[in-house]
Amino acid sequence: MNEHEHHHEEPIEDSEITGWKHKLIWSWVLTIPIVIIMLSERLFGVSLIEMPYSIITILVLGFPVLFIFGFDTMKGGLRGLFTFYFNMDSLIALGTLVAYLTGIFSFTGVVLDYSGVAAMIMAFFTTGKYVEAKARGRASEEIRKLLELGAKNATVVRDGKEMEIPIDEVRLGDVIIVKPGEKIPTDGIVVKGESSVDESMVTGESLPVDKSKGKNVIGATINQDGILYIKATKVGKDTFLAHIIDLVEQTQSEKIPIQKLADKITSVFVPFILVLAVLTFANWWIFSGDLSRAIGVGVAVLVIACPCALGLATPTALMVGSGMGAKRGILIRKGEAIQTMKEIKIVVFDKTGTITKGKPEVTDIYSKIKEEKLLEIAASIEKLSEHPIAHAIVTKANLKIYKKVTAFSIIRGKGVVGKISGNDIVIGNRALMNDKKIKYSSFEDQISEFESGGKTAMIVAENKKVIGIIAVADAIKEDSVIAIKKLNMHGYRTVMITGDNERTAKAIASQVGIKEVIANVLPEDKSKKVSELQKEGFVAFIGDGINDAPALKQSNVGIAMGTGTDIAIEAGDIVLARGSLLGVVQAINLSKATFRKIKQNLFWAFAYNVVAIPLAVAGVLHPVVAEIAMALSSITVVTNANLLRRKKID
């Protein structure tokens, strides 16, 4: 079984939850008899078991609760005391150990028996841990849904034979056969066959995507209507799906600045409480002369002050928040982004592939000859180029037979040249026309009109004469306009940084509602422009290309489009798996909602201690009551964190 494949009877069950569940059940199985013995004696004056056998029974029943089912808590807590690395378990470990030892020393007649309290404290503590693990499980349910998307088996061709094997046995380079209706087992490239593939569960794209030889496919997507032969290019933990899961899991274990602050407070708070418990014990012993009472009050202080709620305040909210994000295709790679995102004032966009689809299309043709003839000439030349604009022209022409081209060459950044039937063909921008001394001034108005509409004008010349202009534009994503409108409504400053010329850039910006444009920016200068904007407030940068990586790193929050390059995705703090800018709006709203929940949780955790500790010092709270109160505070924090799910972030 590979590391991303799990099987569950229940969707939220995992080994951690199951472990705490077993500890919880057995702790209470042993603790309930202790409770019955204690209550019958202390409330009703009825001894179910004669002394001293009742104490011995409680000690025997309590031992596994503390030292077997509570072993990890005891070990971690006591180790923290001896190494001066104080944590939440330190108070519980010390409190339960002292209470348990009173049972042994009670045989001397000097102290009362609190050993039953020790078992009850640990049982309640185990219950709190189980609730915490359960909450974590619920928060990770979206991840598990992703896990379950993957195929379990694959049909591969080896030594000329078809065979079905478990998915974790698929090797790089294996050719996999995927029939209609089957899940594609792993990331790969089509080597044979044609079909359409439903990628909605991974990319959010609602329409099936056509696949043919040479096209990439994503594992866990569903083949629709044809048989595909796919060569595996990524397997196991390297697949797109596994990568997404890793991103979310990393975030859920990461500490954000406010969590680090809570940890720092805890490291000071715990030794303070230890000192307070000792002073409380000494004070009660000296002034009351009652050693048993003094021990009981000291144990109550230790237990009531256990900062479990404080420790749960941030991680539970963060886990729920990142789980909500994952459900919407918002993958938080760095936990700190959740805290920083709410401070964003300026939202900066790359253009191509971010605001636009990144797939140019022919929008207009201005021709001095027959349009079909112009397209035939242009497509025959452009077919030899791999440039996206070339693809757009070839797609538009949709020819079955192309003209024979000789002397073909690509002029980087300018266009292409070649010969058809002895005629010199030049296709490109103004710079190429100037280089070839081709006059195009009579077409300038038409070129400018296209460019003012955000289109790229490709001039087509035959034997030094311009015969037409083909306008190509990168279509704007349907939801880009909605997303930017929402950002503008909420007072965010929207900026576009692009390498395009200013006229084209401003045309695109006006179509989507972006207020500021920084055009003609070289790839290496994008991060400098972001740095300049940061002087005016926190900046979120959204991009998708390799050239966007430095700007993504430079910004306060880098948001990478999940449909972009691996390098951009790695550089981003947040990844929008669905490639939709609406994810930016959702990420901001999610950040604000999550952080609001964290602050609420921290308030309740501190408020609880402020009220409860003085009561414990005053001797008002029995150790058992203290433990119940402590458990309830943790449950309150976990429940409050889970209420985040009800928050609308769209």
The catalytic site residues sit at: 350
Q: Are 567 and 603 in contact (CB under 8 A)?
A: no
Joined tokens for residue 235: 């397997």
How far apart CA 437 and CA 448 sit, in angstroms, is 20
Residue 569's alpha-carbon distances to 22, 204, 302, 546, 558, in angstroms, are: 40, 17, 47, 9, 9
User: What is the Cα–Cα distance from 480 to 514, expressed in whole angstroms?
Assistant: 10
CA pair distance 650, 644, nearest whole angstrom: 14
All residues at 6 or more sequence positions from 645 whose CB lies less than 8 Å from its CB, including other chains: 320, 324
Tokens of residue 301, six digits = 């202080």
Give the H/E segment covering residue 339: helix 336-341
> Distance between CA 348 and CA 559 in Å, rounded?
10
161 pairs with which residues across the strands?
Answer: 158
CB 292 within 8 A of CB 108: no
User: Helices 240-253 and 141-149 sit at what angle, rounded to 10 degrees?
Assistant: 170
Q: Tell me, what DSSP letter sits at residue 199?
A: -
d(CA 555, CA 345): 12
Query: What is the number of other CB atoms lying within 10 angstroms of the CB of residue 424?
Result: 16
Dihedral sign from CA coordinates of 102, 105, 109, 115? positive
d(CA 376, CA 359): 21
The Cα 127–Cα 24 span in angstroms is 6
CB-based contacts of 5: which residues, under 8 Å, 6+ apart?
A: 147, 150, 152, 167, 168
Going along 304-369, which residue ranges are E strands?
330-332, 344-349, 356-367
Instruction: Give dist(CA 251, CA 254) in Å, integer.
Output: 5
Q: Are 220 and 150 in contact (CB under 8 A)?
A: yes
Strand order of the sheet with strand 175-178? 161-166, 153-158, 175-178, 228-232, 188-192, 216-217
Cα 143 to its chain centre, rounded Å, is: 10
Residue 529's φ and ψ, nearest 5 degrees, are -65, -40
